[in-house]
Amino acid sequence: MPSLLTVKANTRFKVHSLTCSGPDNETVTHLQQLGFLPGEEVVVQRRAQLGGGSVVVRIGASTFALRHSEAACIFVV
């Protein structure tokens, strides 16, 4: 299952699950509080080059710039 870090930009996806590597659940909790919940529609609007920058995503009526490590935690279908 792909993460937001690897999917094609400007394509609609639905959030399937949130899972981050390591024992720290703070990132998952933070993303859930922002609205990244299973079933929500999300679109990657643009992304910076790998190695730095951010992934700009739209979920609902909100737009967020996520770190690459955050986008890698959000799995979509």
pTM summary value: 0.90
Q: Tell me whether residue 28 is in a domain.
A: yes
Cβ–Cβ under 8 Å, residues 11 and 44: yes
Q: For position 26, which CATH number holds?
A: 2.30.30.90
Range of the structural domain that residue 67 is part of: 12-76
Q: Tell me whether residue 21 is in a domain.
A: yes
pLDDT of residue 53: 79
pLDDT band at residue 33 under the 50/70/90 scheme: very high
pLDDT at 19 over 90: yes
pLDDT at 58 over 90: yes
Choice among 1-15, 32-46, 49-63 with the minimum mean pLDDT: 49-63
pLDDT of residue 21: 78
Q: Mean pLDDT, to the nearest integer, of 19-46?
A: 91
Number of domains in the chain: 1
Which residues contact residue 4 at a Cβ distance below 8 angstroms, ignoring those fewer than 6 apart?
Answer: 13, 42, 44, 55, 57, 66, 71, 72, 74, 76
Other beta carbons within 10 angstroms of residue 50's beta carbon come to: 8
